[in-house]
Amino acid sequence: MPELEITKIQELVYELRVGDVMKKEVITVTPSTPVSELRGILRDNRISGTPVIEDGCLVGIISIEDFIRWLAEGSPNCAIADWMTRNVITLFQDEPLIQAINKLERFGFGRLPVFARDTKKMIGILTKGDSIVGLLKKLDVDYRQAEMHSVRSKHIFEDIVADRSSLIFEYDVAGGSNVERAGASASGLKTSLMRLGINPQTARRAAIATYEAEMNLMFFANGGLITAIIESNSIWIEMTDDGPGIENVDQAMRPGFSTAPDWVRELGFGAGMGLHNIKTCADRMRLDSTVGVGTRLEIEILVGGKREVIRDHATVTA
């Protein structure tokens, strides 16, 4: 028999409790509230349904679907009591999320009120959306923890005996519109940095900067070369091309400035944010360009220690 594979999501829906993911602020209405007021209540609170409470007790649930039925069939002065669902399915806060998801599915309700098992008081409400957000948050937390564990306590340079040492990775970037290859250098660099035991946040910054530069090489310079030099406490990344060059470097650096042609914009690029993003990710940046000769971009990202505030003296020369 094949081994039963449990996915992380499956594991989490058993592990998480309703109380972990429910919304605690519950908007409620009373049975005597006119149905006509419901639209405003739902819209103002950005919800699609709400529990109906009378003398502190849950007596029903009213949703946007009921409101639509009332619009089609009801008379103007109806109260919520006439249109609400009375047999409400509820949850306890200590139930596993899997049970809540099953109930939402089985009964087709959009939301289920949550009660405290001991006090029998309503303490929250759960929608499918809340379940998904809760799962994603937990996945993210677990992912980060796993990531931190996988970072070696020692980084590769500590094992090397030398006064100075560095690793050099080179990536060739082709020009043109073949977006299938887009990001290959950035992702190759990121994978390599992670394998070297470099902090994931640092590796991510290097990857974002490299990705932006890679796209610029591809679209504006008909390709080029990316060289990453990894030293014990910094990552240098140099991108060079012999493309048309940049006429005005200060202008190119400005967020929103772009000369991207239509075909580049149609691919979803050309917001003019690339160089700005690179500056944000880097601890130091230098962009040199000569029209008709080419462009050279160099950045440095410090490894280890706290992220330094982005320095204003990022050198930009034409």
Residue ranges binding ligand ATP (CB under 6 A): 212, 216-217, 220-221, 241, 243-244, 246, 252, 257-260, 269-276, 295
Quick one: 200 or 244, whose CB is closer to ligand ATP? 244
Measured from the CB atom, the residue of 96 and 294 that comes closer to ligand ATP is: 294
Number of residues that this document lists for the chain: 318
Helices (H), the chain: 8-15, 18-21, 38-45, 64-73, 97-107, 128-150, 184-195, 200-220, 249-253, 262-266, 274-281
- Residue 244 binding partner per list ligand ATP, Mg ion, none, with a CB distance cut-off of 5 to 8 Å that depends on partner kind: ligand ATP
Give the C-alpha distances (Å, rounded to integers) separating 88 from 8, 18, 20, 27, 140.
31, 17, 21, 16, 33
From the list 8-16, 60-68, 102-110, 268-276, the region that binds Mg ion by CB under 5 A is 268-276
Phi and psi of 286, rounded to 5°?
Answer: -140, 130
* Closer by beta carbon to ligand ATP, 125 or else 297: 297
Q: How far apart are CA 241 and CA 225, in angstroms?
A: 6
Among Mg ion, ligand ATP, none, what binds residue 241 when CB lies within 5 to 8 Å by partner kind?
A: ligand ATP
- Which two structure tokens, joined as six digits, stand for 147? 């990531």
Q: Given the complex with ligand ATP, which of 92 and 257 has the nearer CB atom?
A: 257
User: Helix H segments across 46-127?
Assistant: 64-73, 97-107
In the bound complex, what is the minimum distance in angstroms from residue 314's beta carbon to ligand ATP? 14
Query: How far is it, in rounded angstroms, from Cα 308 to Cα 314?
Result: 13
Q: Identify the residue whose tokens are 């592990």.
A: 15
- Round to whole Å and give the CA distance between 163 and 153: 22
In the bound complex, what is the minimum distance in angstroms from residue 274's beta carbon to Mg ion? 3
- Binding residues among 207-236 for Mg ion as defined by CB under 5 A: 216
The residue count for binding Mg ion (CB under 5 A) is: 2
Cα(298)–Cα(285) distance, integer angstroms:
6
What's the one-letter identity of residue 3?
A: E
Partner touching 257 among ligand ATP, Mg ion, none, CB below 5 to 8 Å by kind: ligand ATP
184: tokens are 């290959």
Residue nearest to Mg ion (CB): 274
Decide if 266 contacts 193 (C-beta within 8 A): no
CB of 183 to ligand ATP, least distance (A): 12
Beta carbon nearer to ligand ATP, 63 or 258: 258
Query: How near is the Cβ of 283 to ligand ATP at its closest, in Å?
Result: 19
**Partner whose footprint covers residue 258, from ligand ATP, Mg ion, none (CB < 5 to 8 Å by kind):** ligand ATP
CB nearer to ligand ATP: pick between 199 and 295? 295
Q: Does 131 bind Mg ion (CB under 5 A)?
A: no
CB of 282 to ligand ATP, least distance (A): 13
Pick one of Mg ion, ligand ATP, none as the site partner of residue 63 (Cβ within 5 to 8 A by kind): none
> Measuring CA to CA, which residue among 150, 130, 302 is closest to residue 231?
302
**Contact flag: residue 274 with Mg ion (CB under 5 A):** yes
Look up residue 51 and give its amino acid: P
Binding site residues, Mg ion, CB under 5 A: 216, 274
